[in-house]
Amino acid sequence: KAGVTQTPRYLIKTRGQQVTLSCSPISGHRSVSWYQQTPGQGLQFLFEYFSETQRNKGNFPGRFSGRQFSNSRSEMNVSTLELGDSALYLCASSIDLASTGELFFGEGSRLTVL
């Protein structure tokens, strides 16, 4: 079956702009989580959605937001972009929120902020 799909794969924005990233989970998966990866901070959890509700949120400013649709697809938005937002944004899906659930990651969206 198809894996986790993230779009766009690469994008370039300038400071002050906003960006929306999309994630389509594996069919049947209801949980979607987002991570930011930078060389300095490594992989950091952004937020997690299950059944259209945000369940957990990482330590990121309010400029970072997300949502999940009824078909489990998710989007994340970053407003007023800063240079430090340049990163690989990874989406992961799982069947549910169970602690033993395996996460399946997408290939990521690489954002460059100029």
For other proteins, the binding residues (CB under 8 A) are: 4, 31, 33, 35, 42-45, 48, 50, 55-56, 58, 88, 90, 92, 94, 97, 99-108
Residue 44 C-beta: closest distance to other proteins, Å: 7
Q: Torsion angle of alpha carbons 58, 70, 2, 110, nearest 10°?
A: -40
* Of residues 70 and 99, the one with the C-beta less far from other proteins: 99
* Of residues 16 and 101, the one with the C-beta less far from other proteins: 101
Residue 33 C-beta: closest distance to other proteins, Å: 5
**CA–CA separation, 93 and 73 (whole Å):** 10
* Of residues 18 and 54, the one with the C-beta less far from other proteins: 54
Residue 46 C-beta: closest distance to other proteins, Å: 10
**CA–CA separation, 85 and 99 (whole Å):** 29
String of b and e for 18-39 (b: at least 16 CB within 10 Å)? ebebebbbbeebbbbbbbbeee
Residue 80 C-beta: closest distance to other proteins, Å: 25
**CA–CA separation, 63 and 68 (whole Å):** 17
